Amino acid sequence: MEHICNINDIEHESAREYQKDGQPVLVAKFDGQVHAYLNWCPHLGIELNFMPDEFMDSDSQFIMCANHGALFEVETGNCLSGPCSGDKLIPVPLEVRGEEIWLGEVPQPA
């Protein structure tokens, strides 16, 4: 595992992007929990965001793909609406150790 950032580096109900194992990973803080996913939209296999660290929809309720507006549940990565509805973001193993966020090995996209 690798120490990637600290809990306080991420605002509540938002996400930030980090590089791990040469892959872009987003770490989201939502409802007091942290979640990590490969920054890879299952629709076209491209990154979700246009702007750095801009991953949430306007109500900060879902992770949104900026390309075609797919919405993903933050807790599960499930796509709830959009062209990849029923598909999901690829989770990255994550551990919170005190204030520190550690990431495990990043899976390869399918």
Residue 78 binds ligand FES, judged by CB under 6 A: no
With the CA atoms of 37, 39, 45 and 49 taken in that order, what torsion angle do they form, in degrees rounded to the nearest 10?
140
Residue 67 binds ligand FES, judged by CB under 6 A: yes
Residues 89, 25 contacting (CB under 8 angstroms):
no
Residue from 5, 24, 34, 83 in contact with ligand FES (CB under 6 A) = 83
**Shortest distance in whole angstroms from residue 28 CB to ligand FES:** 16
Footprint of ligand FES on residues 26-55 (CB under 6 A)?
Answer: 41, 43-44, 46
Residue 56 binds ligand FES, judged by CB under 6 A: no
**Shortest distance in whole angstroms from residue 48 CB to ligand FES:** 6
Structure tokens given for 12: 């509540």
Interface segment toward ligand FES; rule CB under 6 A; list 6-14, 32-40, 80-88, 97-105: 80-88
> Which residues are near ligand FES by CB under 6 A?
41, 43-44, 46, 65, 67-68, 70, 82-84
